Amino acid sequence: MGLLRGPLFWLLLLLAAACSGILFALYSSAVERSLEPHSGVRDTTSSRAFLQPKSSNSRTRKSHRCQHPLHLAIQRHPHFRSLFDLSKPVLLWWGLFTPELWDHLSQHKAPYGWQGLSHHAINSTLSLLNGSDSAELFAASREPPPNCIRCAVVGNGGILNGSRQGANIDAHNYVFRLNGAVIKGFERDVGTKTSFYGFTVNTMKNSLISYQNAGFTSVPQGQDLHYIFIPSNLRDYVMLRSAILGVPIPEGPDKGDRPHTYFGPEASASKFKLLHPDFIGYLTDRFLKSKLINTNFGDLYMPSTGALMLLTALHACDQVSAYGFITSNYRKFSDHYFDRTKKPLIFYANHDLILEATLWRDLHKAGILQLYQR
C-alpha cells in the first residue's frame, strides 16, 4: 500500500511547491510595485510631513483626492521642479535647535540667520516652542483634517476693491492674511475668515500706525487663529518670547509693550508659529534672488511679507489661491483695497515687487498657483 501511495505523495508535494512559488512571485511583484518611485511620492505622503515631529506622521496629506494638487503641477514643470524642495523645514521650533544649527545660522544675518544675535535670546525663545503645535503649520483640531487642503492667501492690493471675492476666499480651508488686514467694511471683497496672520513686528506696528484711519486698529484675533512670526531681527524673537510668557517686553525698541494687547490675553505657545530662517534663505535663493542684493540696498533686501506667506502656503497646502497680489496691470488699481482715494503702488527699496509679480505670473501659468486677476 505504501509503495502505491509513494508516487502520488511526491506528485502532490511538487504541486504544492509550484503553488508556493507562484504565490511568492505574486507577493514579491506587489511589494516591488509599492516601493517603486512615482512622480510626486514625497509630496503625496505630505509636503506637511516635514512640519511635524519625526515621531508623529499621523496627519499625512491625502492630496490624491484633490482635483488638481499643486505638487503634481510642480513635478510636471521642468523649471519649478528644480526649484521646489518640499522637504525643507518651514517652521523653526525647539526640536530643531541643535549646536550644529546654531553654528550654521550664526554665519548669516537676520532674517536668514542669527549673526550678531544673542544665543540666550534665541535659546530662551525656542525653548518655549516645544510642543507639536509649534512644529506643525496645521495643528491638530477637533475636526478631522480635510482630504484636500485648500488655502487662500490674501494680500492687501487694490485689485480686491470691488472684486466681490469674499465668499470665494472664505470657502477655503485656511485663509492667510498679513500686515494691514482690514476686514470691516470690505467683507464682500476680502471675506471674514482668518486662519493665519503673518508679520514681522516692524510691519505689524507700521500697519497699526499707517492704516488706523482705514480701520486697522488691531491685528486679527480669534480662538482658532494662529500667528506666524517672520524673524527679521532680534525684536521678533523678544516679542514672541514675551507673548508666550504673557509678560511685558523687557528690552529693545519695544520695551514695556504688552503683547496681549496685540494677540489677546490667552495667547499660549500653541498660537504661534515661527518661520525657519533657513526656509526664508531658501525662498530667497531659489525664487526671489533679486538684483537688489548686489546694490547698496543689499543688506536691507528681503522678500515681502506677502511673498513669504504665499510661498509658505505653497509648501504646505494642496491647492493655493492668491488674492490681492501684484499683477502686470497693477497701475489700474490703488495701492491698497482699503484706500479712500486711489494711490499708486509704492516700490520700497527693501523689496522687489516686480520680481514677485513675475513669479506669481509664472506659477499661475504653470498651474501651481491660482492668481486672482482682473
- 3 falls within a domain: no
Longest dimension (CA), the chain: 108
User: Of 304, 266, 277, 261, whose CA–CA distance to 125 is shortest?
Assistant: 277
305-314 and 353-365 helices cross at what angle (nearest 10)?
20
Q: Is the pLDDT of residue 194 over 90?
A: yes
Mean pLDDT in residue range 115-120 = 95
Q: pTM of the entire structure?
A: 0.82
* Mean pLDDT calculated for residue range 220-242: 95
* Predicted local distance difference test score (pLDDT) of residue 30: 36
Q: How far apart are CA 262 and CA 217, in angstroms?
A: 10
Q: Mean pLDDT: which of 3-17, 78-92, 142-156 is highest?
A: 78-92
Beta strands 319-323 and 272-274 are: unpaired
Residue 88: inside a domain, yes or no?
yes
Which pLDDT tens digit goes with each residue over 35-73?
333 333 223 233 333 333 333 333 344 445 788 899 999
Q: Is residue 228 part of a domain?
A: yes
Going by pLDDT thresholds of 50, 70 and 90, the confidence category of residue 299 is confident
C-alpha grid cell, residue 350: 527693501
Least confident of 29-38, 82-91, 135-144, 348-357: 29-38
pLDDT in tens, 162-180: 999 999 999 999 999 999 9
- Indicate whether 163 belongs to any domain: yes
Domain, as residue range, for 242: 70-136+149-371
Residues in the chain, total: 374
Q: Which residue from 354, 233, 355, 345 is spatially nearest to 284, judged by alpha carbons?
A: 355
Give the number of domains in the chain: 1
What pLDDT, on the 0 to 100 scale, is given for residue 67? 85
**Has residue 34 got a pLDDT over 70?**
no
Report yes or no on 5 lying in a domain: no
> Is 11 within a domain?
no
CATH number of the structural domain spanning residue 85: 3.90.1480.20
* Cell 509550484 -> residue: 18
CB atoms within 10 A of CB 122: 22
| Confidence band, pLDDT 50/70/90 cuts, at residue 96 | very high
